[in-house]
């Protein structure tokens, strides 16, 4: 039975964005099995216990144990290949995670895609006052409208000039340098399940740029039905968890709300946020 049978294979994002599952390994499994079963099979090899088919309760318990104690190699037994259509500025954020094999559309061979990312009015945000790389509330309607118009003009002019210079014989590999980051690219993105979970833990975070987070959310939604126990553990022990440092544990034990002077200002701010989440 094909584990992708009767499951959604793609999610569209905005006008041109797309996340699609192309293939996976294992591809064919026994009826009713998921990626979780392949992970459990790999884990049980270490103690020679693959002869008896365990119950789903036992499988779920094993997955949660593996995740809880950071036994990661069994999760590497699953690989997923995605196709993504995305603007270059998002692609550069995703590729920074450095945990996947990628083959990308090349503007050295072909002309740029006539597809550009243009934000909606509500998507034009102001620079954050406390996060150097983030943004916060919406810009005014007037400023957002002006920004959108400028974005459209830059994209249109860049594509027009690219075509003009190609007609003059300018090589594509140098001609492409003036294309804006809003230009869409596409790639095949193959990743093992362990690294996918690592990627998602980073890119589903609320501090991640919204436009990048939308791609992570699409991957998450597509893969979750294929590994229900693993994603349950991922939500319980990663997404929904709080990690405490040695200094934070000491502060909680001492029933104080401030870290020692050894900590940095950033650590103290983050600790205050954790206490708030814990209701302390």
Which residues are designated catalytic? 203
Of 196, 191, 222, 199, nearest to 21 by C-alpha is 222
Of 273, 275, 124, nearest to 207 by C-alpha is 273
Residue 191 pairs in a beta bridge with: 80
* Cα gap 21→224, rounded to integer Å: 12
How far CA 185 is from CA of 107, 178, 208, 272, in Å, comes to 9, 15, 20, 40
How far CA 63 is from CA of 42, 141, 160, 239, in Å, comes to 11, 49, 53, 16
Structure-token pair, residue 89: 């500025």
* Cα gap 45→250, rounded to integer Å: 40
CB 57 within 8 A of CB 116: no
How far CA 257 is from CA of 201, 243, 251, in Å, comes to 27, 16, 7
Strand pairing class (79-87; 10-13): unpaired
Neighbour count for residue 97 (Cβ, 10 Å): 16
Q: Whose structure tokens read 């591809």?
A: 27
* Cα gap 267→251, rounded to integer Å: 12
DSSP 235: I
């Amino acid at each position: 039975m094909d584990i992708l049978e009767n499951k959604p294979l793609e999610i569209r994002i905005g006008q041109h964005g797309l996340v699609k599952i192309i293939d996976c390994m294992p591809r064919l499994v026994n009826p009713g099995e998921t990626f979780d079963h392949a992970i459990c099979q790999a884990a049980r090899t270490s103690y020679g216990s693959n002869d008896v088919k365990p119950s789903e309760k036992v499988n779920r318990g094993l997955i949660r144990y593996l995740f809880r104690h950071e036994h990661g190699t069994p999760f590497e037994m699953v690989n997923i290949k995605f196709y993504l259509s995305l603007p270059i500025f998002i692609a550069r954020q995703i590729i920074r995670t450095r945990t996947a094999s990628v083959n990308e559309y090349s503007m050295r061979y072909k002309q740029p895609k006539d597809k550009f990312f243009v934000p909606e009015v509500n998507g034009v945000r102001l620079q954050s006052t406390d996060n150097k790389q983030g943004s916060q509330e919406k810009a005014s309607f007037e400023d957002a409208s002006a920004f959108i118009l400028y974005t459209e003009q830059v994209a249109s002019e860049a594509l027009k000039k690219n075509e003009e210079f190609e007609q003059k014989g300018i090589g594509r590999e140098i001609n492409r340098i003036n294309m804006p980051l809003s230009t869409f690219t596409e790639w095949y993105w193959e990743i093992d399940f362990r690294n996918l979970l690592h990627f998602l833990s980073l890119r589903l975070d609320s501090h991640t740029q919204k436009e990048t987070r939308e791609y992570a959310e699409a991957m998450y939604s597509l893969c979750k039905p294929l590994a229900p126990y693993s994603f349950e553990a991922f939500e319980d022990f990663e997404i929904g968890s709080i990690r405490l440092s040695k200094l934070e544990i000491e502060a909680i034990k001492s029933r104080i709300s401030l870290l020692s002077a050894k900590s940095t200002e950033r650590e103290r701010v983050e600790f205050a946020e954790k206490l708030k989440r814990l209701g302390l």
